[in-house]
């Protein structure tokens, strides 16, 4: 029974949660390893739509252990809201496990996120974050002033860390960001986090042991990635990225296991590309086709409701994701959205300084100069009712094979709609 990592191979929102939900049926444990409630993961079951931000999407199946591991940054108010929301829908959340080592998103992280974005927006240089305090929380983690879940259960240590942080953060907000009204009261935070600590206590444990033992016992463990390869702190379009590691390597650190314990690396792609927030996007469409994909694909942010930028499938990015995450399989979602287009384009390289390059450049200035080189493919009609590979039109089969060829990895699943059953398994 293998351990499988499922990651986003583009700029997030590839439909990772749908794939996790499908694979969860046979899994025993589902683990989130990075990011926080910046993620918006949607699962559609019949007419019911579930949205997850911190809790693994596997929770919809009774009895699956769902782990929020050490690499995740947890907003206690956010996760408790999710727990209550699921419980109200009759979903059993008793199988949830939260890492003692995970860092806590504090109210001042959200304040700093907003203050920094507002300041940068004056020069049009904001990242377009989700404002959930993710960047500032990971900053504190790296700077070694973060507060972890385990600290919640050592009252004096916790109070001391909050007081120390609040003093510094209030000064930053006042003197650096000139946000005189945005000041935090340490004692209020301590009080509210004590109440969160009580409620979270039954779920908290050393999840490095939980995950390790599950794999050792031969159980099927799924790692649910958040965000996507091009939002990776090291490999994405820096600085227009998130502050964690959405690539498969991030799952090892984020769960506290070694790479030898992973058997399969599944990359989720859409049949086109979207991006939410600012930053470069070579195949972005600014025309009616882009609008049509947005409408047809309901491409509006799950967390913020912002319209997602839409563009053609980019095989340079696809190959980059396969390479940097060692992908063994691809799940290609949302090809149903491309219906009724006469021509469908795939970007097969970038024209850069008079040459065609096939790698994704590091520098944003270089990326800015890259002009996509397109190959045109024949379109298709409504495929949302197809349930087998054989039922797909020839043009879709050709599209799938061309993508496999260009990115260098096999496509094992194809999504033809948002529902659990609208998924075709190949081979
Ligand atoms: P995630 O963040 O990667 O889990 O993706 P999101 O949930 O943010 O966005 C994906 C959206 O596409 C959700 O609304 C899904 O219900 C929907 N979706 C997933 N797969 C398919 C598919 O194959 N076709 C269509 N039409 N919608 C899909
Ligand atoms: P899922 O898991 C798409 C983007 C934000 C912004 C940048 C930094 O649903 O695929 P942050 O709040 O993380 O500091 O914002 O990252 N972003 C996402 N885009 N899907 C996500 O998650 C994202 N999480 C963050 O829009 O551009
Ligand atoms: Mg999403």
- Does 332 lie in the same domain as 304? yes
pLDDT bucket at 79, cuts 50 / 70 / 90: very high
- HSE, CB side, 13 Å, CA atoms: give it for residue 299: 27
CA distance 257 to 244: 17
Domain holding 183: CATH number?
1.10.300.10
Assess whether 290 and 411 both reside in one domain: yes
Assess whether 291 carries a catalytic annotation: no
> What CATH number has the domain bearing residue 415?
3.90.170.10
**28, 41, 113, 140: which one is catalytic?**
41
- The total domain count for the chain is 3
Mark whether 154 and 296 lie in a shared domain.
no
* 152: three-class secondary structure by DSSP: helix
Q: What is the pLDDT of residue 303?
A: 80
The domain boundary residue, chosen from 264, 284, 316: 264
State whether 339 and 320 are in the same domain.
yes
For 75-136, give the DSSP string: -HHHHHHHHHHHHHTT---TTEEEETTPEEP-HHHHHHHHHHHHHHHTTT------SSSHHH
Question: Are 45 and 60 a contacting pair, CB within 8 Å?
Answer: yes
Q: Domain check: are 118 and 212 in the same one?
A: no
Q: What is the mean pLDDT of the chain?
A: 97
Three-state DSSP at 218 gives: coil
| pLDDT level of residue 4 (50, 70, 90 thresholds) | very high
Same domain, 123 and 207: no
CA-based nearest residue to 275, from 407, 416, 128: 128
Q: Give the percent of the chain with pLDDT over 90.
A: 97
214 and 186 part of one domain = no
Ligand nearest, relative to CA of residue 18:
1
Given 211, 243, 264, which residue is the final one in a domain? 264
What pLDDT score does 1 carry?
Answer: 57
Same domain, 117 and 190: yes
Are 418 and 300 in a shared domain? yes
Question: Is 41 assigned a catalytic role?
Answer: yes
> Are 39 and 8 part of one and the same domain?
yes
Average pLDDT (404-423) is 97
pLDDT of residue 47: 82
pLDDT at 86 over 60: yes
Asked if 228 and 12 count as a contact pair (C-beta separation under 8 A), the reply is yes
Structure tokens at 381: 């009609």
- Do 275 and 251 have their domain in common? no
Instruction: Please compute the mean of the pLDDT values over residues 296-301 and round it to a whole number.
Output: 95
Of the listed ligands, the closest to the CA of 419 is: 1
pTM over 0.95: yes
pLDDT in tens, 320-368: 999 999 999 999 999 999 999 999 999 999 999 999 999 999 999 999 9
307: CA distance to ligand 3 center in Å?
Answer: 12
- DSSP codes, 347-396: EEEEEETTEEE-S--S-HHHHHH-EEEEEEEE-----TT--SGGGS-HHH
Domain boundary among the residues 157, 179, 199 is at: 199
Query: Which SS3 state, helix, strand or coil, does residue 222 take?
Result: strand
pLDDT digits (tens, 9 = 90+) for 175-225: 999 999 999 999 999 999 999 999 999 999 999 999 999 999 999 999 999
CATH code assigned at 78:
3.40.440.10
Q: How many CA atoms lie within 13 Å of 397's alpha carbon, on the beta-carbon side?
A: 9
- Domain encompassing residue 379: 269-425
Q: Are residues 294 and 368 in the same domain?
A: yes
Q: How far is the CA of 272 from the centre of ligand 1 (A)?
A: 12
Give the pLDDT mean for 31-39. 98
User: Can you give the pLDDT at residue 356?
Assistant: 98
């Amino acid at each position: 029974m293998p351990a499988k990592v499922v990651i986003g191979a583009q700029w997030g929102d590839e439909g990772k949660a749908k794939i996790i939900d499908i694979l969860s049926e046979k899994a025993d444990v589902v683990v989130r390893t990075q990011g926080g409630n910046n993620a918006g993961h949607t699962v559609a079951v019949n007419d019911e739509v579930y949205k997850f931000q911190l809790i693994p999407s596997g929770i919809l199946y009774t009895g699956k252990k769902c782990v929020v591991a050490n690499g995740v940054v947890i907003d206690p108010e956010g996760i408790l809201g999710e727990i209550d929301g699921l419980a109200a829908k009759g979903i059993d959340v008793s199988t949830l496990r939260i890492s003692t080592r995970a860092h806590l998103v504090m109210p001042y992280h959200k304040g700093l996120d907003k203050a920094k974005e507002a300041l940068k927006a004056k020069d049009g240089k904001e990242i377009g974050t989700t404002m959930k305090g993710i960047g500032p929380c990971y900053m504190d983690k790296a700077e070694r002033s973060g507060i972890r879940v385990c600290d919640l259960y050592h009252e004096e240590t916790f109070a001391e860390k909050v007081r120390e942080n609040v003093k510094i953060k209030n000064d930053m907000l006042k003197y650096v960001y000139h946000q005189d009204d945005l000041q935090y009261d340490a004692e209020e935070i301590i009080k509210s986090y004590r109440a969160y600590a009580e409620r979270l206590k039954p779920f908290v444990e050393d999840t490095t042991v939980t995950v390790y033992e599950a794999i050792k016992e031969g159980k099927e463990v799924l790692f649910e990635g958040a965000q996507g390869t091009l939002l990776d702190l090291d490999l994405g379009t820096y600085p227009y990225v998130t502050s964690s590691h959405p690539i498969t390597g991030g799952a090892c650190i984020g769960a506290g296991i070694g790479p030898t314990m992973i058997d399969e690396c599944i990359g989720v792609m859409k049949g086109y590309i979207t991006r939410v927030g600012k930053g470069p996007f070579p195949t972005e469409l600014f025309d009616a086709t882009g609008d049509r994909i947005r409408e047809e694909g309901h491409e509006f942010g799950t967390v913020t409701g912002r319209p997602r930028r839409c563009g053609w499938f980019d095989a340079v990015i696809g190959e980059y994701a396969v390479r940097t995450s060692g992908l063994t399989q691809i799940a290609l979602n949302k090809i149903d959205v491309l219906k009724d287009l006469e021509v469908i384009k795939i970007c097969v390289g970038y024209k850069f300084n008079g040459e065609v390059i096939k790698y994704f450049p590091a520098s944003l200035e270089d990326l800015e100069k890259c002009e996509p080189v397109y190959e045109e493919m024949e379109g298709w009609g409504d495929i949302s009712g197809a349930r087998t590979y054989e039922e797909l039109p020839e043009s879709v089969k050709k599209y799938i094979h061309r993508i496999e060829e260009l990115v260098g990895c096999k496509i094992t699943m194809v999504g033809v709609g948002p529902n659990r059953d609208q998924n075709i398994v190949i081979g």
